[in-house]
Chains A and B, each alone.
Chain A
Amino acid sequence: MLKRLHENSDRKKVTINFEGVQIEVLAGETVAAAVLAAETDYTRTSAISGVHRAPYCQMGICFECLMEIDGVPNRQACMIEVREGMKVNRQHGARGLSDEVSV
């Protein structure tokens, strides 16, 4: 869905694990962007009908980018930068089991 403008940038490379697959991304990218640049076009399935959804606003408003990051569900992937070794999974349906009090 997204393309890097400078694939051979001299920025640091970072490896993250997306859905069990190691992918190489660039430091400074948000999780949402890095994942969308990796040949995928959706980041979660919707809470009611389970259809594919993708980040819409990229600025923390729409909550369409909710993903499970390092085991924690409901993280806004557009607001979080990639880190070496990060584990990222799509979020399926409503939030997973956790001690969330929000929403």
Chain B
Amino acid sequence: MKSLYDLVIIGAGPAGLAAAVAARDFGLSTLVLDEQQIPGGQIYRSIEKALTENTPVLGKDYFHGQKLVERFRQAGADYLPEATIWDLGRDLIVSCLVDNQARQIRARHILIAVGAMERPVPIPGWTLPGVMGAAAADILFKSCDMIPEGPVVLAGSGPLQLLVACRLIDNGVKVAGMVETNGFGDNLKALPHFPGALRVPHYLIKGLSMLWKVRQAGIPAFRNATNLRVEGDESAEALCFDARGKAQKIPAKTILLHEGVVPNLQLTRLLGCEHQWYEPQRYWKPVLDSWGQTSVNGISVAGDAGGVFGAKTAEAAGHLAAIDISSRLQALSAQEKASAAAPLLKERAREMSIRPFLDTVFPPGRQALVPPGNETLVCRCEELTAGQIREAVALGALSPGQVKAQTRAGMGPCQGRMCGLTVAEIIAASRQVPLAEVGHLRVRPPLKPITLGQLAKLEIAE
């Protein structure tokens, strides 16, 4: 371990791993930090663990990751797992907590490759035990070899939801219903993007085969579902919703919610990077040049943290960012840079060609964006409802920051990671202004809990 690196990469998913391998190729001293115990990120989570009993069903994509992780292990980058970042500054100092010890590491350049998170799905009853994200079930499967207890109902929209449904079917879990908030209208809207998607037909084939599996399994399926709510006393007992013109109720032990994934912005927000609104999936993402450089000097972003475009795109973007950073640090000439980048730019463009289609077929459901009723809990930590947020707006709060000051929404342990987007959407809808005008919550350190005792022992980077 050094105290200064040419490149510090935060996140060991496909983007961070590809960047590390390339950066080492160009001779940069490189450190990779990640919260998880082993490399792989979300899609290739736990790939090195000995939980192989189940891996055959994980499929070919998962094993692509194995090779990537192997290359990373051999690349000679320093690697710090189980590292929690609690601060990051424009002075390019990374403050982290490793093994109960707070430490600081300096970098000449930082690459943020922290990926995405599941979009929170605020519906009545979503805080009951027995309700969780669909991606959470995916994580439990990959890292702990566990599946939720059936009957399970899946609700929402998105490719990941379909993937999780198939995984449950393959493992003999009873899926009592597939309740989609999108519908035929979205298929129609996506039609113009279909030719683009045909450039990567293997994704379409994979999607169709998953749809086929769900249909073959005879799972009751609903589309255009509205008014979703979880019923239950101490834990989830049923999902209720309106579809096919009437009220429906499906009893279940586990309810998995999903409305797509959104970039993880804690770090770029903390650094004050410029962000832009991405309308098709209604999320913010950092403004990046084609190499991943942000508006802040010395800070680049690669992978889903810069916009959710999938694992292969993330890998190409990580590689491209490493090329750019190497050239900035003079490890690469302009000509070397251009020729190394050419095939990757092509690859990335091809991989991206399915996104307009996917992003239109699976829009985040309206109910999840702006809870229509007032009783839905929006801020899970401080237990604030949509009604309380609306009240604050009626009393003059114009931004998430002002709502936070009035109500405490976003002040709990998750620091607005779960309610930030919803609060902004509610404000925009109430004020009838575009969301971009409403702004976002400010992010402040420490990003994760750290004790005074741990801080006191900090070795400060000079």
Name A residues whose Cβ lies closer than 8 Å to a Cβ of B: 1-6, 9, 11, 26, 28-30, 33-34, 36-37, 41-42, 46-49, 51-64, 66, 74, 76, 79, 81, 95, 98-103
- A interface secondary structure, majority: loop
Q: List 29 A-B contacts (CB under 8 A).
A: A2-B144, A2-B149, A4-B145, A5-B141, A5-B145, A6-B145, A28-B50, A28-B144, A33-B140, A36-B146, A52-B234, A54-B132, A54-B235, A55-B132, A56-B380, A57-B118, A57-B132, A59-B42, A59-B117, A61-B117, A61-B118, A61-B418, A62-B417, A63-B381, A63-B417, A66-B413, A76-B448, A99-B451, A101-B452
Does B220 belong to the interface (CB within 8 Å)? no
Contact of A74 among B382, B415, B449, B455 (CB under 8 A): B449
**B146 pairs with A37, CB closer than 8 A:** yes
Contacts of A63 in B (CB 8 A): 381, 412-414, 417
Contact of B140 among A11, A52, A58, A62 (CB under 8 A): A58
Complex CA gap A1/B252 in Å reads: 11
**B148 pairs with A101, CB closer than 8 A:** no
17 further interface pairs, Cβ-Cβ under 8 Å (given A52-B234, A102-B450): A6-B53, A26-B145, A28-B49, A28-B50, A30-B144, A33-B146, A41-B235, A46-B383, A56-B132, A59-B135, A60-B35, A62-B418, A63-B417, A99-B451, A100-B451, A100-B452, A101-B450
B152 vs chain A, min Cβ distance (A): 11
Complex CA gap A26/B302 in Å reads: 35
**A48 pairs with B382, CB closer than 8 A:** yes
Number of A-B contacts (CB under 8 A): 153
Complex CA gap A100/B451 in Å reads: 4
B37-83 contacts to A (CB < 8 Å): 37, 42, 49-51, 53-54
Contacts of A59 in B (CB 8 A): 42, 117-118, 135-136, 139
**A54 pairs with B130, CB closer than 8 A:** yes
